[in-house]
Chains A and B, each alone.
Chain A
């Protein structure tokens, strides 16, 4: 006979869950608090960017306007003024694109191949090399800023796009190489051996065997690099030169340039526009990001 509970229900199928429990209440309150903490400023920014300057002066900062307008967005994109000229944040946007794409692609290409070499083709000093790499990823950037100025100047590329791309690539390498090495080291060794018996060499094993099964780690690397480089301010301001300032630097210049009254709506719109790329990337790839991190941690 089946057992019955005190109130005479025969347990069968999924166990009914209590609707409210202490843990749930705690978890959801914390989540809610965090969400509010981060979303509230965003809310202010969005509603402010949709007001016109009159509404901002007269209205309450927390209350959205009844007559939203996108004119501030248009101005932010097309004609907001930095200290020097008034071409809007779009200049910075395209600069950022020109900086981010080559930096991401080059750094990931180099790091994945280096990581693969370290994991699968040990050479005499590969362990030492790996240690150096590991240590170097902890050195504060600031230490290298000035030497890199000198180096890029010596190379004749200081204050150009290649300079900032080079710097981003260099600083991305340690952590990315680490990431790739650990991922490739976690793949079954026998797979690599099987490919060698099949006659595949260094490049063929990399491109035909490893890369196809490394989508998660490439996703992680791409996300890390795009968001990291897009959000960068320091390298952009130092190495890119005024004509190539990335979006973050231009945003700063727009917000800080004082010509007449402060246009909060334009500033807000420009800020949102600047943040929208990393935001969108997290939003659409968060799932893969988590999956990739997990795949690197446990066995692939």
Chain B
């Protein structure tokens, strides 16, 4: 099979196991030219393994890897046209920054003046100019990470692989470098595959996010789609902080007349745009805290509101998270911090059903 010419990297049926442990399971992935793809998933789900397979640092048990339409499954890492940035920086400790940057170029036997030119350009781009003669041990974490990025950049390749490049840095530096990486991508327009388990990084950087779990890709979509229309309970629960509420109940009726039963209350689903036709049965209603509106318990009978009791309030600065109970179901709602609620108070709850997700309880798939 030949990969499409506008795809930059494509992975076909890739599997990898260590003995009996299957780390990657028949994975397919196509990444367009110039795309910023983020691999997102919990620790141990195989993100680094996938990246290492693409880089040629691990041999897959099955499957193929194409880069720029060429089958590189058996190629050496250096011949694949990739640059890689590692989580632990992995700078050569005994070489100066300049020699770290130029190592790969010297290996490939590039002319001296060309090496100098490239190192200078990358040094300027990443503001490493003053640091070129220092050893890595004399750099701060952020500077080291910039050198590591620079070492990938000087190779002037089509595909960059990042394995959690920012996870060793503190929150502020991470935010700064995140912006730098985004800017870099806009400027270079290279294909980038970026591993992280930080969902903010994923949301802000990605053109598309691949959410992984246990060696498979659960959903591959644009960040907004993943956020708004998660394909299954796993993705829904993984993306978003504070995380989505899952209200267990059952659907009665079908199609536009479907109603979700939660405790003793009925929530009509006529505003919900289903992927699969709704039918009666056990289901889970997924609502993000920001898609729940609260009102002080009104005296007038509100037809479209539901009664809940405030359980706990978590102030978070710009807004507050209010934990509520309908019968025994606990869920949270995000409100502006100037709205004040007390535990035990009765409130009216309105779910924005058009923004919610309904999942089949048995399969976990979105309906």
Of B79-87, B213-221, B230-238, the one with at least 4 CB within 8 A of chain A: B79-87
- B92 and A191 form a contact (CB under 8 A): yes
Of A21-29, A194-202, A227-235, the one with at least 4 CB within 8 A of chain B: A194-202
Chain A residues in 8 Å Cβ range of B287: none
Query: Is chain B's interface secondary structure helix, strand, loop, or mixed overall?
Result: loop
Contact of B104 among A191, A193, A197, A212 (CB under 8 A): A197
- A198 and B103 form a contact (CB under 8 A): yes
A window 205-219: CB within 8 A of B: 208-209, 212-213
B window 54-106: CB within 8 A of A: 55, 57, 76-78, 82-84, 86-88, 90-95, 103-104
Is A54 among interface residues, defined by CB-CB distance under 8 A? no
Interface string of A173-204 (1 = CB under 8 A from B): 00000000000000010110111111110001
Residue with the greatest number of chain A CB neighbours at <10 A, chosen from B57, B82, B108, B155: B57
Chain B residues in 8 Å Cβ range of A197: 55, 57, 77-78, 82-84, 104
B window 97-140: CB within 8 A of A: 103-104, 107-108
Chain B residues in 8 Å Cβ range of A196: 57, 76-78
A196 to B94, CA, bound (A): 17
- B86 and A194 form a contact (CB under 8 A): yes
- A190 and B151 form a contact (CB under 8 A): no
- B94 and A194 form a contact (CB under 8 A): no
- A213 and B104 in contact (CB under 8 A), knowing A196-B77, A196-B78, A197-B77? no
- A194 and B108 form a contact (CB under 8 A): no
Determine the residue in chain A with the shortest Cβ distance to B78: A199
A205 to B76, CA, bound (A): 15
Determine the residue in chain A with the shortest Cβ distance to B148: A194
Determine the residue in chain A with the shortest Cβ distance to B99: A208
A188 to B88, CA, bound (A): 8
- A190 and B87 form a contact (CB under 8 A): yes
* A25, chain B: closest CB distance, angstroms: 41
Is B52 among interface residues, defined by CB-CB distance under 8 A? yes
* A101, chain B: closest CB distance, angstroms: 26
Residue with the greatest number of chain B CB neighbours at <10 A, chosen from A198, A200, A213: A198
Determine the residue in chain B with the shortest Cβ distance to A209: B92
Contact of A199 among B87, B91, B104 (CB under 8 A): B104
A-B contacts, 6 listed (Cβ < 8 Å): A194-B91, A194-B151, A196-B57, A197-B83, A199-B77, A204-B107
In the complex, the 3 A-B pairs of residues with the closest C-beta atoms, listed nearest first: A198-B104, A199-B78, A212-B94
Chain B residues proximal to chain A, CB less than 8 Å: 52, 55, 57, 76-78, 82-84, 86-88, 90-95, 103-104, 107-108, 151, 155
Given contacts A193-B86, A212-B93, 12 further A-B contacts (CB under 8 A): A190-B87, A190-B88, A193-B57, A193-B84, A194-B86, A196-B57, A196-B77, A197-B82, A198-B104, A198-B151, A204-B107, A212-B92
Chain A residues proximal to chain B, CB less than 8 Å: 188, 190-191, 193-200, 204, 208-209, 212-213
